[in-house]
Amino acid sequence: MTRTPSKDALADPLANLLGYQLRRASVAAMAALKSALAENDLRPAEMSVLLVIDANPGVTQSEVGRCLGIKRANMAPIVGSLEQRALVERMPVDRRSQALRLTRTGARVLGRSQKIIAAHESRLASGMDEAAARAVMRFLKDVRQRFSTETS
């Protein structure tokens, strides 16, 4: 018998890999957020764009992309879709850039979505005390900074 029968659990050589668990946790959390935001016909990436525009009215599309790590080429269809659904409006800054703002509809959708995000965040943090939450947040930001290639 080179290994235990298939009815038993497999050995999981990835169980103690921080990078693997980081990915699995991220995928699981994103899937849940995606489901929850679907109520408002929003995808997570669209939601993040709305949040940045709301916090920085008049921001340009390129600036939003740099903030979120989304390339210009990929921002175009996202903003285009948000504009088409009347969630975001574009107003010319100069003749090559446009200022982005939320429409009233966009602000309303964002408001509803923020409740979903707050619930999601609560669920993520549940079971952690202050010290653990700080350690986790420090780890995540540190990893992001140390591993970032900043190509967007």
Partner DNA sequence: TATTGTTATACTCTATAACTATA
Partner DNA sequence: TATAGTTATAGAGTATAACAATA
Residues in 30-89 that interact with its own copies by CB under 8 A: 30-33, 48, 51-52, 54-60, 63-64, 67-69
Q: Per the structure block, which two tokens stand in for 55?
A: 């916090």
131 binds its own copies (CB under 8 A): yes
74 binds DNA (CB under 7 A): yes
27 binds its own copies (CB under 8 A): yes
10: β partners: none
The region of 7-15, 71-79, 110-118, 121-129 touching DNA under the rule CB under 7 A is 71-79
Residue of 62, 86, 115, 136 interacting with DNA (CB under 7 A): 62
Neighbours of 110 (CB within 10 A): 19
Q: Tell me which of its own copies, DNA, none is bound by residue 143, counting a contact when its beta carbon lies within the kind-specific cut-off of 5 to 8 angstroms.
A: its own copies
91 binds its own copies (CB under 8 A): no
125 binds its own copies (CB under 8 A): yes
Residue 99, SS3? Answer: strand
Q: What angle do CA 43, 49, 55 make, to 5 degrees?
A: 135
In degrees and rounded to multiples of 5, residue 4 shows phi and psi of -70, 155
Residue 125: enclosing H or E segment and its boundaries?
helix 104-125
Residue of 44, 67, 89, 103 interacting with DNA (CB under 7 A): 44
Q: Tell me which of its own copies, DNA, none is bound by residue 33, counting a contact when its beta carbon lies within the kind-specific cut-off of 5 to 8 angstroms.
A: its own copies
Q: Are strands 98-102 and 88-92 parallel, antiparallel or unpaired?
A: antiparallel
- Rounded Cα distance between 54 and 107, Å, is 8
Closest C-alpha to 112, from 39, 19, 3, 18: 39
Residue 28 or 132: which CB sits closer to DNA?
28
**Which residues contact DNA by CB under 7 A?**
2, 4, 27, 31, 34, 43-46, 60-63, 69-77, 79-80, 94-98, 151-152
